[in-house]
Each structure stands twice: as C-alpha cells, then as structure tokens.
Amino acid sequence: TQSTRPQRLLGAVQKNATRGDPRSVVQAIDQFCRQKEWAMNVGDEKGCILDSVVSEVNPATVLELGTYCGYSTVRIASLLPPHAKLITLEFNPDFAAIARQVIAWAGLEDKVHLVEGASGDWIPKMTEQFGVKTFDLVFLDHWKDRYLPDTMLMEECGLLRKGSILLADNVICPGTPDYLEYVRSSPRYESQYFKSHLEYTKVEDGLEKSVFLG
Ligand code: SAM
Ligand code: MG
C-alpha cells in the first residue's frame, strides 16, 4: 500500500523514539530526514536557534503558524514553563492528524493546542475562542507569502504587545522578501537575522527575530 512522507516520518518516530521523551522524538525525525527523506521541518541546525529563543523569552503564550508533522511544535513545547500554552495552526488535515500523534508520542498533548484551519481565519478568533489576549512569541513557518499579511492581521487584532517576539523561519530560502523588508524598515520592530542553513542541507537560510515595540 502507498504511504505518505508524513506517515513514514511518524513510523520512524514510533520505531526509534521513546514515548514521553521529546528529545528522542526530535532526534528520530532528524535522523529520518537526514538518512531517508528530506522534509520541511525547521531541522536540527535552525532548531537550536529556535530553542535558544524559546528559552530566552520563556513565553507563557506561543502561536505557531504551520505545524506540518509537529517537529517544531515538540521542540517549542518541551521548553515551555509549566502552565504555558502553545497554539499551533495547520490547514492540511492529513498533516494535522500525523502531528497529533507525534505530539502525543512526545507526551506534550497537554501543552499543545493544535487547531486545524487557515491562519487568516483563526488569527481574528484567538481571543474569543482561546482566551488569549496577546502572544509572547510567534513562530512563523507556514506558506511564505502569508508571513506579512498574517503579521499585519495579528497587529490589527491586538495580539502583539510591546515586547512580543516574532521568529520567522526560511527568510532566505525559500525567502520572504516582503516580510523581511517590513520588519527591518518599520519603526515598530527591532529585527535581527540569525544566519544558518536550510534544514538538512548546506544551502544558506536563516531565522529573523523581530521584537514588536508597540
Ligand atoms: N513548523 C514545522 C516544523 O518546523 O516542524 C514545519 C511547517 S511547514 C514548513 C508549513 C506548514 O504550514 C505546512 O504543513 C502547511 O500545510 C501549513 N500551512 C501553510 N499555510 C498555512 C496557513 N495559511 N494556515 C495554516 N497552515 C498553513
Ligand atoms: Mg521552515
């Protein structure tokens, strides 16, 4: 029978990772993607930068745009302080179904709220549906042409406070030129580039960390 890449990735987690051990889940996925099949997870190299930002911000509320198989979700959720909450959005139901199982394998289902649907539909409903006033940290890693409109939507909806951090993946490869131009030139942001490589390759890519100044 045919299987999909996300299903094979889940299989690698179930075979090689220990239930309840997020690090082993991350490792099993990285090993699968380096040795078997490339996949669009933030990956181990940029993942270390993601980890350090999460640890530094120590957020109580996190929004992730683009869950895919839950790799970055597991990285982020495993570093959150007690009672912190991560909302992650994914509009592909097949990916969401895999991510739920990956997150559960890591033992992190209590920290993560996986919401199925499009970012543009859900961002305006965050306060009403989930009681979130503002996000301390937002990880942008969905389709690249959505970074800028969704950032402007989060601003309009009052979901960013002075000091909220936006961390954007793939700002070089595939690239998000309109978003980069916006956060780098707007007086409402203080922005910094972290140079790295596209997941599981030697191609340049990086993360852009932007502080919302209010
Ligand atoms: N953050 C994940 C990780 O590092 O493990 C990888 C996410 S992958 C690069 C991007 C995901 O965003 C895809 O699964 C895609 O289906 C989803 N996506 C793209 N545009 C979206 C949108 N507007 N709303 C919700 N999900 C979206
Ligand atoms: Mg990415």
Rg over alpha carbons for the chain, rounded to the nearest Å, is: 16
Residues labelled catalytic: 141, 144, 169-170, 199
* Ligand 1 binding site (Cβ under 6 Å of any ligand atom): 40-42, 66, 68, 71-72, 89-92, 95, 118-119, 141-143, 146
∠ CA 194-152-60 to the nearest 5 degrees?
Answer: 65
Percent over 70 (pLDDT), the chain: 100
Give the H/E segment covering residue 68.
none
Ligand 1 centroid distance, CA of 18 (Å) = 25
pLDDT tens digits along 119-140: 999 999 999 999 999 999 999 9
Strand-pairing partners, residue 178, are none
pLDDT tens digits along 69-82: 999 999 999 999 99
Token digits of residue 1 = 């029978």
> Does ipTM top 0.95?
yes
Quick one: DSSP state of residue 210?
Answer: E
pTM, to two decimals: 0.97
Work out the number of other CB atoms within 10 angstroms of the CB of residue 7. 14
pLDDT-derived band at 2, boundaries 50, 70, 90 = confident
- In our burial notation (b when 16+ CB lie closer than 10 A, e otherwise), range 103-130 reads bebbbbeebbebbbeebeebbeebeeee
- Phi, psi dihedrals of residue 52, rounded to the nearest 5°: -70, -35
Ligand 2 centroid distance, CA of 141 (Å) = 5
Quick one: DSSP state of residue 174?
Answer: I
Rounded-to-integer distance, Cα 134 and Cα 158, Å: 7
Contact 25, 72 (CB under 8 A): no
Contact 13, 105 (CB under 8 A): yes
- In our burial notation (b when 16+ CB lie closer than 10 A, e otherwise), range 169-200 reads bbbbbeebeebbebbeeeeebebeebebbbbb
Ligand 1 centroid distance, CA of 115 (Å) = 12
Q: Is the four-CA dihedral 174, 153, 91, 27 of positive or negative sign?
A: positive
pLDDT at 1 over 70: no
Contact 122, 112 (CB under 8 A): no
